């Protein structure tokens, strides 16, 4: 059937949208990428992937898990070979992997956690030995922290590393059922090494959780070493091609120099050297959280691209009051309700882009400081990564799901690309810190600041609220600032009062205030996001870009203000709402341009609905007809099943 339609043409509805865009889309792409050179580099990486049939092939929907996993190993390994053949720089190789878009132990753990841990948590000697092995894939590693019984409470891990002075070795053990390592990506089938986190015990004294480099499989036959029980934990939501695994260690011995020794170490005689800061050993976590914040925008932008392009070509219903004629039907993006669902998400994808930049900048500043033993940024960086990780991942996961629902029935089809996008993203809400706990960490930072009168001193909360000017970004940002400050002061007061009411038991009062504390963190983080977004808008030089971005930023801020309107004082809610509706109307015609600017190639989106050409139905029909169940074999298989199981029912005695 597919030959009936020419799928190389752009759907006229989408072509029309593109004509109406008010700004230069390529310039917006450059702005997002950080300069035209970066855009070009991305383009080159994208072309390498597109040109290679294996790299491009992500059709794993019909495979069993093991086939799927092997298929991804094949693709990533090939990408690495190609990268080395082309002599790509590490940054170029990273770009290439982005377009390969593989979810496997390679990306989920080896490259994003194992290698960075070796880079950041080792002393010079260790780094020199181990890092090249990992970066050249001579060893494959995983990051074995979480246990079946302990995730969030890292300090409560049960795995034990006992120092044996005689042999100068650590003896690593999983002493209980709940101490079995559970979840590390790439552990189940891929890794031959692991960084294992365990309680360090020297001469019967516990020195807390430390990391150890442990070989778990031999490099030749890839079989578990003695004392190692390892396997795959089974199917999950998303990550079908990642072998999240379990690991039980029974008296596994490793040499003394395999404890990660950048910040703390053990001498041959068992003398322990503690780190300069208690939290510094968790550097990998902050690194990963920073990247999670940085990547949120990219994922949400994919969902929004698919949903907005599809909404521009999906026509349904003529305008109210017009006759029921197919040619009179209008794109669903013309509907106010659809705009109200999608355009704020589009604005959020832009907001998170700049928040990601801010977070990455803060992280890099912290790292520079640490090199000079300056840890002054650590508390802020810790609070910001924790809180922003929570807000951005929650919003992105929910946003992708909303994009999916905005595509109606077709959003459920894997041909839309959206179910997979959601499944591959949503674990971000949980790993590297469950979101609610992270918000409480941010709350700890805020309360401390309030207690020392150092929380947002620039905001004068004693003045009564200025009237909100919905057309002015500064005025809107100030409202958010004021809300954040008042909420913090009020929550801190409540905490104090509760402490007094409970016999000065601060800890108990804290535990009975966590719902309020989480709310307070959200208020603060929403301010941070609005502030960063509006600052970024101010810095834009091109008028056309600046104008549309100013609208996007106000849309983002007012939309969220409306949702929590009970929390802002001095607010005329009707004014906010009518301003919102006005912004929807104004941004409507730029919607397709704003998603085009994200510049995702079709092969990355993998969505019949979200393709650049807008010919959703052609591609759906084409792909559905080709799939396995409709081949001769597939059809025969099902007809045999029918004849074996269903047909005998025709002989049932009627009961009617």
Query: Which residues are catalytically annotated?
Result: 432
544 or 562: whose CB is closer to a second copy?
562
Q: Which range in 111-119, 133-141, 380-388, 470-478 contacts a second copy by CB under 8 A?
A: 133-141
Which of 574, 586, 438 is closest to 517 using CA atoms? Answer: 438
Among 9, 37, 81, 467, binds a second copy (CB under 8 A): 81
Residue 526 CB burial class (10 angstroms; 0-12, 13-18, ≥19): buried
Each residue 516-545 as x (binds a second copy by CB under 8 A) or -, in order, gives x-x---------------------------
Beta carbon of residue 542, minimum distance to a second copy (angstroms, whole number): 31
Q: At residue 164, what are phi and psi to the nearest 5 degrees?
A: -110, 105
Separation of alpha carbons 138 and 215, rounded Å: 13
Among 65, 127, 165, 546, binds a second copy (CB under 8 A): 65
326 or 464: whose CB is closer to a second copy?
326
Q: What is the helix (H) or strand (E) element at residue 266, kind and residue range?
A: strand 265-266
Among 41, 375, 378, 621, binds a second copy (CB under 8 A): 621
Q: Do 296 and 352 contact (CB within 8 A), yes or no?
A: yes
Q: Do 571 and 468 contact (CB within 8 A), yes or no?
A: yes
- Going 106 to 107 to 110 to 115, the CA torsion angle's sign is positive
**Does 140 interact with a second copy (rule: CB under 8 A)?**
yes
Among 7, 131, 360, 489, binds a second copy (CB under 8 A): 131
Beta carbon of residue 117, minimum distance to a second copy (angstroms, whole number): 17
- Going from the C-alpha of 144 to that of each of 35, 60, 149, the distances in angstroms are 38, 27, 13
341 or 546: whose CB is closer to a second copy?
341
DSSP-derived 3-state class of residue 141: strand
Separation of alpha carbons 589 and 583, rounded Å: 11
**Does 308 interact with a second copy (rule: CB under 8 A)?**
no
Beta carbon of residue 630, minimum distance to a second copy (angstroms, whole number): 4
**Does 77 interact with a second copy (rule: CB under 8 A)?**
yes
Q: Which range in 15-23, 362-370, 447-455, 642-650 contacts a second copy by CB under 8 A?
A: 642-650
Each residue 340-379 as x (binds a second copy by CB under 8 A) or -, in order, gives xx--------------------------------------
Which of 303, 225, 287 is closest to 609 using CA atoms? Answer: 303
Separation of alpha carbons 86 and 83, rounded Å: 5
Among 8, 271, 326, 460, binds a second copy (CB under 8 A): 326
**Does 581 interact with a second copy (rule: CB under 8 A)?**
yes
Beta carbon of residue 646, minimum distance to a second copy (angstroms, whole number): 6
Residue with tokens 């004294």, as numbered in its chain: 205
Beta carbon of residue 419, minimum distance to a second copy (angstroms, whole number): 4
**Does 16 interact with a second copy (rule: CB under 8 A)?**
no
**Does 570 interact with a second copy (rule: CB under 8 A)?**
no
DSSP secondary structure string for all residues of 588-656: HTTHHHHHHTT---HHHH--SSS-TT--HHHHHHHHHHHSGGGSHHHHHHHHHHIIIIIGGGGGPPP--
Among 329, 542, 550, 602, binds a second copy (CB under 8 A): 329
Q: Do 518 and 443 contact (CB within 8 A), yes or no?
A: yes
Among 50, 207, 272, 335, binds a second copy (CB under 8 A): 335
Separation of alpha carbons 644 and 639, rounded Å: 9
Among 15, 16, 47, 61, binds a second copy (CB under 8 A): 61
Separation of alpha carbons 45 and 124, rounded Å: 33
Q: How many residues bind a second copy (CB under 8 A)?
A: 146
Is 185 annotated as a binding-site member?
Answer: yes
Beta carbon of residue 56, minimum distance to a second copy (angstroms, whole number): 17
Among 289, 404, 449, 588, binds a second copy (CB under 8 A): 404
Beta carbon of residue 595, minimum distance to a second copy (angstroms, whole number): 21
Which of 190, 183, 184 is closest to 72 using CA atoms? Answer: 190
Each residue 146-185 as x (binds a second copy by CB under 8 A) or -, in order, gives x-xxxxxx-xx-x------------------xx-x-xx--
Residue with tokens 């994009």, as numbered in its chain: 403
Separation of alpha carbons 43 and 99, rounded Å: 10
**Does 221 interact with a second copy (rule: CB under 8 A)?**
yes
Is 34 annotated as a binding-site member?
Answer: no
**Does 319 interact with a second copy (rule: CB under 8 A)?**
yes
6: left (phi over 0), alpha (psi -120 to 50) or beta: beta
Q: Both ends of the chain: CA-CA distance in Å?
A: 43
Beta carbon of residue 301, minimum distance to a second copy (angstroms, whole number): 21
**Does 573 interact with a second copy (rule: CB under 8 A)?**
yes
Separation of alpha carbons 160 and 268, rounded Å: 19
Among 36, 51, 219, 466, binds a second copy (CB under 8 A): 219
**Does 20 interact with a second copy (rule: CB under 8 A)?**
no
Among 413, 496, 502, 589, binds a second copy (CB under 8 A): 413
451-480 positions binding a second copy, by CB under 8 A: none
Q: Give the per-residue SS3 of 112-179.
A: HHHHHHHHHCCCHHHHHHHHHHHHCCCCCEEEECCECCCCCCHHHCCCEEEEECCCCEEEEECCCHHH
Q: At residue 315, what are phi and psi to the nearest 5 degrees?
A: -100, 145
Find residue 331's DSSP bridge partners.
315
Q: Which range in 280-288, 352-360, 506-514, 537-545 contacts a second copy by CB under 8 A?
A: 506-514
**Does 189 interact with a second copy (rule: CB under 8 A)?**
yes
**Does 278 interact with a second copy (rule: CB under 8 A)?**
no
Residues of each annotated binding site for FAD:
146, 185
């Amino acid at each position: 059937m597919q030959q009936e339609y020419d799928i190389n043409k752009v759907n006229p509805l989408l072509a029309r949208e593109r004509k109406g865009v008010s700004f230069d889309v390529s310039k917006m792409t450059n702005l997002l990428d950080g300069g035209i050179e970066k855009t070009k580099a991305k383009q080159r990486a994208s072309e390498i992937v597109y040109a290679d049939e294996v790299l491009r092939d992500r059709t794993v929907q019909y495979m069993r898990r093991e086939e799927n996993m092997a298929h991804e190993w094949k693709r990533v390994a090939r990408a690495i070979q190609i990268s080395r053949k082309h002599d790509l720089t590490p940054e170029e190789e990273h770009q290439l992997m982005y377009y390969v878009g593989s979810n496997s132990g390679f990306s989920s753990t080896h490259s994003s956690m194992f290698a960075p841990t070796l880079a950041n948590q080792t002393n010079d000697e260790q780094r020199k030995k181990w890092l090249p092995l990992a970066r050249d894939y001579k060893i494959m590693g995983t990051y074995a922290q979480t246990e079946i019984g302990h995730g969030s409470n890292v300090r409560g891990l049960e795995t034990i590393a006992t120092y044996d002075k005689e042999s100068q070795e650590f003896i690593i053990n999983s002493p209980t059922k709940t101490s079995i390592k559970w979840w590390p990506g790439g552990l189940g089938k891929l890794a031959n090494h692991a960084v294992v986190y365990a309680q360090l015990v020297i001469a019967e004294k516990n020195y807390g959780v430390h990391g150890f480099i442990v070989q778990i499989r031999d490099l030749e036959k890839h079989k578990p070493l003695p004392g190692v029980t390892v396997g795959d934990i089974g199917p999950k939501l998303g990550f079908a091609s990642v072998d999240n695994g379990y690991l039980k260690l029974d008296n596994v011995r490793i040499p003394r120099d395999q404890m990660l020794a950048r910040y703390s170490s053990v001498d041959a005689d068992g003398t322990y050297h503690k780190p300069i800061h208690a939290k510094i050993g968790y550097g990998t976590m902050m690194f990963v959280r920073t990247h999670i914040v940085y990547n949120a925008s990219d994922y949400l932008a994919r969902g929004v691209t698919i949903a907005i392009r599809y909404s521009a070509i999906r026509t349904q219903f003529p305008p109210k009051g017009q006759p029921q004629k197919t040619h009179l039907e209008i794109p669903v993006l013309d509907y106010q309700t659809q705009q109200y669902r999608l355009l704020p998400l589009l604005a959020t994808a832009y907001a998170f882009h700049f928040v990601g930049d801010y977070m990455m900048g803060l992280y890099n500043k912290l790292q520079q400081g640490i090199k000079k033993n300056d840890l002054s940024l650590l508390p802020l960086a810790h609070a910001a990564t924790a809180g922003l990780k929570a807000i951005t991942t929650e919003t992105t996961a929910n946003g992708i799901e909303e994009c999916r629902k905005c595509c109606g029935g077709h959003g459920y089809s894997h041909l839309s690309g959206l179910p997979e996008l959601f499944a591959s993203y949503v674990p971000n809400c949980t790993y590297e810190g469950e979101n609610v706990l992270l918000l409480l960490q941010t709350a700890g930072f805020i309360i401390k600041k309030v207690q020392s009168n150092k929380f947002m001193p620039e905001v004068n909360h004693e003045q009564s609220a200025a009237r909100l000017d919905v057309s002015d970004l500064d005025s809107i940002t100030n409202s958010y600032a004021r809300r954040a400050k008042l909420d913090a002061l009020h929550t801190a007061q409540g905490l104090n009062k509760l402490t007094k009411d409970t016999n000065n038991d601060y800890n108990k009062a804290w535990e009975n205030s966590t719902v309020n504390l989480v709310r307070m963190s959200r208020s603060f983080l929403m301010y941070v996001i609005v502030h960063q977004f509006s600052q970024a808008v101010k810095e834009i030089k091109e008028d056309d870009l600046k104008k549309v971005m100013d609208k996007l930023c106000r849309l983002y801020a007012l939309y969220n203000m409306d949702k929590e309107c009970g929390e802002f004082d001095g607010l005329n809610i009707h004014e906010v709402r009518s301003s919102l509706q006005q912004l929807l109307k104004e941004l409507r015609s730029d919607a397709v341009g704003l998603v085009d600017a994200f510049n995702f190639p079709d092969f990355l989106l993998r969505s019949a609905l979200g393709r650049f050409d807008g010919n959703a139905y052609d591609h759906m029909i084409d792909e559905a007809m080709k799939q396995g169940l409709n081949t001769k074999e597939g059809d025969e298989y099902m007809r045999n099943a029918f004849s074996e199981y269903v047909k005998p029912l025709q002989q049932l005695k009627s009961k009617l």
